[in-house]
Structure 1
Amino acid sequence: MEQLWRDLSQVVLADRTLADVLAEVTTLAARSIPGAESTSITLIRDDKAFTAAHHGEMALAADEMQYEQGYGPCMDAGRGGVVLRVDDMETEQRWPDYTARVQGIGVRSSLSIPLPYQGNAIGALNNYSSEPAAFATPESLAVALEVAEAVAVAVANADAHDRLGEQAMNMRRAMESRAVIEQAKGVLMAQRHIDAEQAFDVLREASQRYNRKLRDIATGIVQSTSGGGAATRPRG
């Protein structure tokens, strides 16, 4: 387990997509859990479940079967925050429709561990095997629980980093929009000898008249005064 924590701590978050980060995390998890042939991370947001990353096609196919039906061990583990182990899909009675279908892709046993974060479950770490009772040993469950805790931290950190990057991008775009609008207002104030409020009204009316974003109208005005090409001039 110490090696897993070291490996997870070395996962690079900067300049990578959340999907890439979680794919690496899932591969590390799959190598650590005894009995796991295929592993996936199910995340739940607004009660919607999806596979954020997977190692092996068996896990992805098994997850998607559960999403189609709206229930199953990985979804119930993620929603309920409980460990759900299936020792043999042939005799399992809790999800009869799912277990009957999943045997067709070779799954005989599974282990779904909730991903705990700040007192809540944000999803589940899912492990699948083509052998019955692959996760029935105390060692397998103990390792899986520790792995899930480590994965939950990595998922939360990667998700937070991804959201922070998106927020920074949105803020940068907003600042750029603000800057070009202020430039366009300055152009209109100089050309028409009007104040800042009147200049903004001209931009807003042009945006409504031409059904274009305010930023696009402003960009056209700035470009038309800097040799950037012809632009639609708002009429006031």
Structure 2
Amino acid sequence: MSSPFVATSDPLWPDTLLSLLLSTDTVEGFLHELTLLTVAALPEGGMCGVTVSYDSHAMTIASSDELTTAVDRIQYRTGEGPCLDTMSTAVAHHIPDLSAEPRWRAFCTEAFASGVRSCLSLPLLGPVGTVGCYNLYNTHVSAFDDDARSRMGVFTGNAAGAVALALRMADQSKLNEDLHATLASRSVIDQAIGIVMAQQRCPALEAFALLSRASQNRNIKLHDLAAEIVTTVGGQTPGSSAFEPPG
């Protein structure tokens, strides 16, 4: 489905971000459109996700595509990666070539196997601290050269202000509800991935790919397919206390 928002100026400009903020009804919708705007400003092969910290857990609240979400999940599952370090230190981290990066080897190995070749994690710094983190991935080696990093640094500064404003404008209870629902959905998908891994004896990324293809072939949402699998195997409907995320 195409985006309802059409930028009328350079997507890096603050007035474009303000127009985007005013044209979307929810924080989740704004952040998703923001990732699409970001991808438009990236080199070819680019992907984007936005990570926030919720109840001491890092989570992807919006992404430009499912692969980004899957690669983000590698960091959360392994407990290492440039995004997590950027979130904790507010320092940007750049990996020109995942195959040659000595840091975060567990993450780099799995992300490389998924097709990611380079990445850039940038802190979203708001008035009172780190609002979140940009996770920028690319299917090409050395995709984020000096010019690209400089350009994205400017964009991140503008985007951080827009994200901070969106969070302040949102009703806090509604925001918590949206975040809780998103975390619950991710929990169900993770449960289904674990089931497929056990049944097919395959790694997590392959299990996620199998679920994604099945979702597309059956023309149903990934979450709905995951809920169906979990219900069939576990005998409980997701949404019961057993499947509620921590909070």
Report the TM-score range of the alignment, normalised by the length of the smaller protein. 0.5 to 0.7
Q: Which has the larger radius of gyration?
A: 1
Q: Report what 1:105 is aligned to.
A: 114
Distance 2:11 2:24 in 1: 25
* Compared CA separation, residues 163 and 103, structure 1 to 2 (3 A): same
Distance 1:14 1:132 in 2: 35
Q: Is the 8 A contact 1:40 1:55 kept in 2?
A: yes
1:1-236 to 2 correspondences below 5 Å: 3-4=11-12, 5-13=14-22, 16-34=25-43, 37-135=46-144, 137-163=145-171, 166=174
- Where in structure 2 are there 5+ consecutive unaligned residues? 1-8, 176-247
Alpha-carbon distance, 1:100 to partner? 0.9
Q: Please provide the CA RMSD for this pair.
A: 2.1
TM-score (norm: length of structure 1): 0.64
- Where in structure 1 are there 5+ consecutive unaligned residues? 168-236
* Compared CA separation, residues 145 and 36, structure 1 to 2 (3 A): farther
Q: Report what 1:193 is aligned to.
A: none
Alpha-carbon distance, 1:14 to partner? 7.3
Distance 1:46 1:13 in 2: 28
Q: Report what 2:180 is aligned to.
A: none
Q: What SS is found at the alignment partner of 1:141? A: helix
Alpha-carbon distance, 1:71 to partner? 2.1
Distance 2:150 2:23 in 1: 31
Size of the aligned set, in residue pairs, is: 166
Distance 1:73 1:62 in 2: 12
After superposition, give the CA deviation of every residue in 1:98-151 in whole Å (9 maximum; x if it has no partner): 11111121011000101111252222111111111111x211111111111111
**Percent sequence identity over aligned pairs:** 28
